[in-house]
Amino acid sequence: MPVPRILLLLPTATYRASDFLAAAAALQVDVVIGSEHRQALARDMGDRALVVPMAAVDAAVQAIAALHARSPIDAVVAVDDQGVVVAAAAAERLGLPGNPPDAVAATRDKAAMRERLGAGAVPQPEFRVVAPDADDAAVVAAASGVGFPCVVKPVGRSASQGVIRVDDATEAAAAAARIRAMLGECAEPLLVERFVPGGEVAVEGLLRAGRLQVLAVFDKPDPLNGPFFEETVYVTPSGRPAAVLARIALTAEQAARAIGLREGPVHAELRIGAGGSLTVLELAARSIGGLCARALRFGAGISLEEVILRHALGLGLDDLAREPQASGVMMLPIRSAGVLDGVFGRERALSIEGIAGVEISIAPGRAVVPLPEGDRYLGFIFARGPTPELVVGSLRRAEACLHVRVR
């Protein structure tokens, strides 16, 4: 039987290359690495490396189809947002299982996603879309229309970049100006949506023929009330009642169906309001971002990345039960802009009971930019323990051990 061959779309800025390559090695499958810059690829890899222009879908698909004609591939997997539309379009061109490209594209455009969720009667915030060439007064009018407090954001960014809560007309105009300055010449529409108070959860799932299998539900113990929406702690299993978790799963599946997704990983963010009401904030056609997937293990200890590759290649997925231990991750925020001198105290943090790892993802000497302009985290702390509460406590004690020096 021939060895399966998979194309991994690995943008040069991704956190996740090593974890996906390790999963492919564990499965003993042939890997082709696709990246947008030739210098990121070894010169002697031949058809095991491919330049894929992630921002030019037609050209990217043409390059992948040419590779497939020379050396057939069995699946195309994007590891991050940048490659999901290319992966879907390439799978369609090659006749491989996948999502409709227009559905995946809708997850990369917050306005299009809101339109699809609305057509599917999925609970979501009231919203308005403001054209790229509209002035700040149009943003203020949209904000007044949905009501304060509300959130202003660009339609095409992820990781909370450019997402700002505003409480009045003056703040709405200032937020619009700040976001447009951040976007520069890459003008795009702005989305203005009603702020939804309440706790927040993240759903990690796998779509199989349109049915959502929930792999994990993360609680977010830290309130996310703005003005910027800096993610910190994720912990699983969720402490929500079973009936609430069942409704969360059904709502996430309804959202995926409304958008038009049917195969592969999804990551959803939902708010739980007064009386248990659910509101879908986001749904992405990819798995959890950054290095957060390292907080998850399934079956006999396989990684989330291995689950994704197994599904893409049509391999067995017999046991997708999450490990019995509680687990969590803390995304280390960037507090101030400058140049990173270093993060000190890592050994002390690792000595905290329950801590499974501390990864600093920005090298000393590199620029660091906080939200809302920034799009990266400083690093990640991982913990495991008997209960979610103990895991959260371990993460907070470990963070307190770290000293970040920025000049």
Domain map (residue ranges) of the chain: 5-106, 126-194, 325-407
Radius of gyration of the chain (CA): 21
Which pLDDT score is estimated for 43? 54
Average pLDDT, the chain: 94
Which pLDDT score is estimated for 15? 83
Which pLDDT score is estimated for 188? 93
157-185: pLDDT as tens digits: 988 999 999 999 999 999 999 999 999 88
Architecture of the domain delimited by 5-106: 3-Layer(aba) Sandwich (3.40)
Q: What is the pTM of this model?
A: 0.94
3-state secondary structure the chain: CCCCEEEEECCCCCCCHHHHHHHHHHHCCEEEEEECCHHHCCCCCHHHEEECCCCCHHHHHHHHHHHHHHCCCCEEEECCHHHHHHHHHHHHHHCCCCCCHHHHHHHCCHHHHHHHHHHCCCCCCCEEEECCCCCHHHHHHHHHHHCCCEEEEECCCCCCCCCEEECCHHHHHHHHHHHHHHHCCCCCCEEEEECCCCEEEEEEEEEECCEEEEEEEEECCCCCCCCECCCCEEEECCCCCHHHHHHHHHHHHHHHHHHCCCCEEEEEEEEECHHHCEEEEEEECCCCCCCHHHHCCECCCECHHHHHHHHHHCCCCCCCCECCCEEEEEEECCCCCEEEEEEECHHHHHCCCCEEEEEECCCCCCEECCCCCCCCCCEEEEEEECCHHHHHHHHHHHHHHCEEEEC
224-274: pLDDT as tens digits: 999 999 999 999 999 999 999 999 999 999 999 999 999 999 999 999 998
139-154: pLDDT as tens digits: 999 999 999 999 999 9
- Tell me which CATH code domain 126-194 carries: 3.30.1490.20
Which pLDDT score is estimated for 142? 98
Which pLDDT score is estimated for 44? 54
- CA 342/CA 147 separation, integer angstroms: 43
Which pLDDT score is estimated for 144? 97
Which pLDDT score is estimated for 1? 67
Architecture of the domain delimited by 325-407: Alpha-Beta Complex (3.90)
**Which residues of the chain have a pLDDT value below 50?**
none
- CA 298/CA 215 separation, integer angstroms: 8
Which pLDDT score is estimated for 405? 96
Q: Which of 13, 55, 12, 56 is nearest to 33 (CA)?
A: 12
